[in-house]
Structure 1
């Protein structure tokens, strides 16, 4: 007779059974006590019907109170279990969304990389070979770390430098990505592929050409990894559902007590908490 299928029915039955047990025990104790205690005559005299009625009401009150406390404790435990379950489901949902985001970006990046490689094969076979090696390193990193919750910032930076080298082949001097990471920040951790997603987001939303070069600065400050770039907004952005940064914010809400901060003034700035 679980609480979930009828609170009143369960409580009433539980209290009734408790009262019967307590009443029987108290009556037996009273009867037995009178026979062995030397002052049983005083007990008989004081045990008036009013006193016995008061004792009965006291038993009812105490039993009811104890059962209500038991129900309150049960309800609190169930609430905690449900809250934990909801939190885990939300975390799993955010992780799935984050993985979907990576899976959406990787084919898009691969398409652009293969297009660049195709032109390099004819123009500069040596550079094309180096380009292909760097591309292999990028996807090896993604495959090796996509199941991990966190990687060190140093590991992520080593990966992202191969990624940046591929972008430089594609954009040339129109794209500048500058790193300024302190030594103590290298041992801190972030979610894998975070930097790729943020750089790809900047490339997707901003104009990049010789007349409008895009410079992206990546540095750490106050236990945050900061990625900033000037706003050179494209009029139309393809393959964008606007959920990339929201998914990152949701994911990091489970990884850190500090939230992902987004600032948009003269520059677009994203602050990722280092863990």
Structure 2
């Protein structure tokens, strides 16, 4: 949907946000226009014009109350989704008959109390009668159009909300899948490292196992959480980095620059793990070309950047990590996840 159509919907939403005030304004406006037309076109005297204006207000108000009842009744027995054309045609016919009847009845009652038959005889020309009937038909069409527009707006709102909720649920499910899998390659490599450490350095193997258990405990504990504070995420990521450095050694360097003020701000769980994993997946990390990943905060954003030193061949990936992260944050924050690629690859995550 274009920006222009969104503005149109927002405009309609404002109009129909207070329907009673809107209708009262329309009724007064129509009665005023009719009074001006009677004075300017038919030159009706002021006192008679006031009487006719009062009759107009009574007709318009009673018509509106009748329409509210009629629409409510039709909503129960003949909703729009069962046939819009049939509903509108029947609705227009019934409301038009009501307007024609109530106009005549009110006019007859009014003229019996106040004598201005001479004026009626003089002004009740074919043109005047045609103008009166035309205004009544126009009133009916306008009321039905307004009601159908209101119905359409409500349907649009519900569909937009439903679509937004479905997208959010989809993004959350995809992100949960990322958290649950925690990269099988990482688990395999960690277990391989643990196997070799058990024989070479049992004490280090024991420490490695504790860190591995902390990593997976965090993933399990954060499974039901939408957000965690940055300090908690940093505790987790430091355990994760310790496991990585058992494998990479000096080939991987992580530099932190997080201010104390940012520690209480929130972030989606395992965001840093996904971004570090993404950097290792696509970039060379060895003794000759160590991979240096910087993690720091700036302007309520967490920034993760690394030099671009791409591998010739990237390990198998579905390429959904960053995509799902961007989608999730679009629901968590008004700010977007920003990806920049110059001399370095930089991702800016909004802190919430």
Aligned residue-pair number: 274
Query: What do the CA deviations read for 1:42-80 (whole angstroms, capped 9, x no partner)?
Result: 465357362444322211111111111111121122112
Stretches of structure 2 that go unaligned for 5 or more consecutive residues are 1-77
- Alignment match, 1:39: 115
Q: Could you say which residue in structure 2 is the equivalent of 1:173?
A: 250
Shift, 1:40, TM fit: 5.4
Aligned: 1:115 with 2:164: no
SS in 2 for 1:39: coil
| Counterpart in the other structure of 2:212 | 135
Distance 2:120 2:347 in 1: 83
Question: Are 1:246 and 2:332 counterparts?
Answer: no
- Asked whether the equivalents of residues 34 and 43 of structure 1 are also in contact (C-alpha less than 8 Å), the reply is no
**Aligned position for 1:232:** 309
What residue is the counterpart of 2:9 in the other structure? none
Indicate the residue corresponding to 1:48 in structure 2: 124
**Correspondence for 2:295:** 218
Which shifted more, 258-267 or 136-145? 258-267
Cα separation, partners in 2 of 1:102 and 1:239, compared to 1, 3 Å: farther
Shift of 1:254: 1.4
Matched, 1:10 2:87: yes
Q: Is the 8 A contact 1:178 1:215 kept in 2?
A: yes
2: CA distance between counterparts of 1:46 and 1:195?
86
Aligned with 1:185 (options 240, 255, 262): 262
TM-score (norm 2): 0.73
1:98 paired with 2:175, answer: yes
CA distance in 1, matches of 2:123, 2:87: 34
Larger mean CA deviation between 213-222 and 18-27 belongs to: 18-27
Q: Which has the higher contact order (CA 8 A, sep 6+)?
A: 1
Match of 2:332 among 248, 255, 258: 255
- Structure 1 CA distance, aligned partners of 2:212 and 2:275? 18
Query: Contact conserved, 2:178 with 2:321, CA < 8 A, in 1?
Result: yes
Q: Which residue of 2 aligns with 1:205?
A: 282
Q: Quote the residue 1:82 is aligned against.
A: 159
**Do the aligned partners of 1:261 and 1:271 also contact (CA within 8 Å) in 2?**
yes
Does the aligned pair in 2 maintain the 1:135–1:162 contact within 8 Å? yes
* Partners of 1:67 and 1:126 in 2: CA distance: 81
- Aligned alpha-carbon RMSD (Å): 1.8
Please, what TM-score do these two structures have when normalized by structure 1?
A: 0.93
SS of the aligned residue for 2:316 comes to coil
Q: Shift of residue 96 of structure 1?
A: 1.9
**For the Cα contact (< 8 Å) 2:180–2:219, is it kept in 1?**
no
